Amino acid sequence: MTSLQRLDHITHNAKRASGEKLDSPKMADLLGSILSSMEKPPTVHDQESRRKAREQAARLKKIEEDEKRKKAEFRKKMEKTVSDFIQDSNLQKRRYEPMGKIERSILHDVAEVAGLASFSFGEDEESRYVMLFKKEFAPSDEELEAYRKGEEWDPRKAEERRRRKERAALEMEEASRSQKRPASPNSNYRDKYSHLIGTSAAKDAAHTLQANQSYGCVPVANKRDTRSIEEAMNEIRAKKRQKKGAGSGSSV
């Protein structure tokens, strides 16, 4: 249906609904508003813009499909190289050439699925590369540090460095132990002051302890007497009687 046909149809319906003649002013205003609200046919410029938009969308879709296809092909290739690496019993690690971030992420994912350890090394984005290690030959911290520094890993040099570190640690431990030991005098103080106290001062000062002859008023001999108290008292009384007898005899 063309624009004129649609206009006749709208006019006919409006005439039937309003009951007015087509040439009346009110009907003319109605038709004018209807015509102004109708969509205009697309211009040549709009058609060109739509064509370019469709072409751009088609190009983007093609680019996405190409990227998806390339990723699938690269993943299949990495799966093949990883499988060959696992089956080769002579290889412990494998280093790949520098690659982009997307390729590295795909290789890391393939290695994780295969049960391998993978690391990325390199200073900048253009020189970063991936290394794979079998689990039983996982790298040590020293080996990883060497790769991060851009150095080649030499197990013999690493073993020599490890031994040097162990010797240095033992020497430091021995030095710390010697510092904690108690200090001993370099010389004997008796020898240092021998000119003052003499070499035989201690011997001369020593003496043999002897009991005093008496303690208070009691003779020592009495303290060593083994007689009983009753025997000693009887002896004393006998001596007193003898003295009294002797005194009385002299007086007679």
Per residue in 108-158, pLDDT tens?
Answer: 999 999 999 999 998 888 899 999 999 999 898 888 988 888 888 777 877
What is the reported pLDDT for 131? Answer: 94
For residues 222 and 231, the answer to whether their CB atoms sit within 8 Å is: no
| Structural domain that includes position 85 | 52-139
Residue 146: inside a domain, yes or no? no
d(CA 206, CA 201): 9
Q: Which of 31-45, 51-65, 142-156, 182-196 has the highest mean pLDDT?
A: 51-65
Residues 58 and 108 in one domain: yes
User: Do 8 and 63 lie in a common domain?
Assistant: no
79 domain residue, yes or no:
yes
In a domain, 190, yes or no: no
Residue 135 and residue 56 in one domain:
yes
2/65 same-domain check: no
User: Please, which pLDDT band fits residue 101 given cuts at 50, 70 and 90?
Assistant: very high
Residue 16: predicted pLDDT: 60
Clarify whether residues 6 and 80 are in a common domain. Answer: no
Q: How far apart are CA 85 and CA 131, in angstroms?
A: 12
Q: What are the DSSP calls for 60-118, one per residue?
A: HHHHHHHHHHHHHHHHHHHHHHHHHHHH-TT-SEEEPPP--HHHHHHHHHHHHHHT-EE
- Per the domain annotation, does 229 fall within a domain? no
Domain boundary pick from 139, 174, 199:
139
Q: Which two tokens stand for residue 185?
A: 């005098």
Asked whether residue 214 is assigned to any structural domain, the reply reads no
What confidence score (pLDDT) does residue 27 get?
58
Report d(CA 246, CA 240) in Å as an integer: 10
Looking at residue 166, its pLDDT comes to 86
Q: Considering the domain boundaries, does residue 113 fall inside one?
A: yes
Looking at residue 157, its pLDDT comes to: 78
* Tens of pLDDT, residues 196-227: 666 555 555 555 545 555 545 555 555 566 66
Q: Rounded to the nearest 5°, which phi and psi values hold at 41? A: -65, 145
Predicted structure pTM score? 0.47
The mean of the pLDDT values for the chain is 76
The tally of domains found in the chain comes to 2
Residues in the chain, overall count: 252
Last residue of a domain, one of 96, 121, 139: 139
Residues 73 and 129 in one domain: yes
Q: Are residues 22 and 94 in the same domain?
A: no
CATH code of the domain containing 114: 3.30.1370.50
Evaluate whether residue 187 is within a structural domain. Answer: no
Among 139, 160, 185, the domain boundary falls at 139
User: For residues 85 and 132, is the Cβ–Cβ distance under 8 A?
Assistant: yes
- The pLDDT > 90 percentage for the chain reads 27
- pLDDT of 238 higher than 50: yes
Domain assignment present for 156: no
pLDDT given for residue 7 in this prediction: 54
What's the maximum distance between 2 C-alpha atoms anywhere in the chain?
206
Q: Tell whether 119 and 58 lie within a shared domain.
A: yes
